[in-house]
Amino acid sequence: MEDVLSRFLRYVKIDTQSEENGLHPSTQKQFDLARLLRDELAAMGAKDVWLDENYCYVYAAIPANLPAGKAAPTVALLAHMDTSNAVSGAGVKPRVITFTGEDVDLGGDGQHILSLRDFPFMERYIGQELVVTDGNTLLGADDKAGIAEIMVMAETLLTHPEIEHGKISVCFTPDEEVGSGVAKIDLDRLGADFGYTVDGGSLGGMEYENFNAASGLLTVTGRSIHPGSAKNTMKNALLIAMEFHALLPAEQNPMYTEGYEGFFHLCDMSGDVEKAELTYIIRDHDRDKFAAKKALFHSAAEYLNTKYGPGTCRAETRDSYYNMKETILPHMEIIDRAKEAMEELDITPVISPIRGGTDGAMLSHMGLPCPNLCTGGGNCHGRFEFAAVSEMRKIAELLVRIAEKHVR
């Protein structure tokens, strides 16, 4: 049976970056990994293996092997194939190191140093084998570590019939990083009662709460007048835009928030005297606070319209996804079984809110409760991304144990 490390090293070398362009899938190169995974699943004996050639979803099933008198729900395990477009994912050159706690010169040129000074949480990895980059690309542990772990789980169950389990539905998705990972998923084909995304961080991590999310756009229409004669007539759209931002709570900024604290994040701004645009993302775990943030975004624009004239500011918000907690709470046995599996493997469960979103959040609101599990990766979306080899192996083992725990 193939080790999770060799699978992971093979998958991360395939460029699968997604793009924000509204297409499904957003990039055709995601099919390169999808076709490989389809073929590997078929070769190991998985059933109902199918690649959606239109939308780039890979489906497969590990049939139940339960004796008479036992039953189990159908459990879905999902991971996404695409990687973030924040840093290049082309030409990934992974290497395995033993992390001693000393600085790691990723590229050998002094440009990208993996250091405990910058990442003090990595003290927990001293003495462990880590897969790292050469400093020129991201690694792709998000979420190819999850894919490798699910593949090892699948092969384990298929080659060890003595491990009793219900039906396991596997799905690998595109475009999670651009927010449309489950936009075209076929839930009937998946056929699951609930699922887990394997798309988290350090060993033991499990999440069933995430942000409520919206995008915000402020458009400011100004009036350009020669500055020499502009008194009482010019409306500088750039300055009005700055005034708008100053009306938002300064402390509700990603730089100053953690845990359950929400924020307004200014992502982009552009313009001139006549017109300016500011784009935001708005986040909060609490649905009422989320609504209040959106209301404040609009009321700030309305206030400036009373000051500078109707139509000066136009505020728009669009909801992106919601907190999965409200759909998970009626089904807490999903969390309980995963916690039990962790504890049986001497893994300490660490349950915390996600300060972002996952495919599972959207699936949960589509009727498939779907919390998130750890992968063993860290520093995602950047050149300092890594994956802990021992944690990936342990998580593959955890997925097998979770399959066992749902048998009744």
Kindly state the tokens that stand for 380. 């995602």
Distances (CA, A) of 391 to 43, 80, 82, 155: 26, 19, 21, 18
Rounded CA-CA distance 393/120 in Å is 24
Kindly state the tokens that stand for 34. 């999808």
215: left (phi over 0), alpha (psi -120 to 50) or beta: beta
Strand 212-221 relative to strand 313-321, pairing: antiparallel
Rounded CA-CA distance 87/109 in Å is 19
Which residues contact residue 20 at a Cβ distance below 8 angstroms, ignoring those fewer than 6 apart? 26, 85, 178
Cα–Cα nearest to 199, from 138, 157, 149:
149
On whether the CB atoms of residues 87 and 138 are closer than 8 A, the answer is yes
Structure-token match 């990039």, residue found: 27
Rounded CA-CA distance 206/198 in Å is 9
375 Cα distance to chain centroid: 11
Strands (DSSP E) contained in 188-300 are 194-198, 205-207, 212-221, 263-271, 275-284
Catalytic residue among 15, 40, 52, 82: 82
**Known catalytic membership, residue 176:** yes
CB atoms within 10 A of CB 233: 10
Rounded CA-CA distance 392/398 in Å is 10
Catalytic residue among 15, 142, 155, 176: 176
Kindly state the tokens that stand for 116. 């405990």
Strand 372-373 relative to strand 194-198, pairing: parallel
Rounded CA-CA distance 299/112 in Å is 44
**Known catalytic membership, residue 272:** no
Residues classed as catalytic: 82, 176
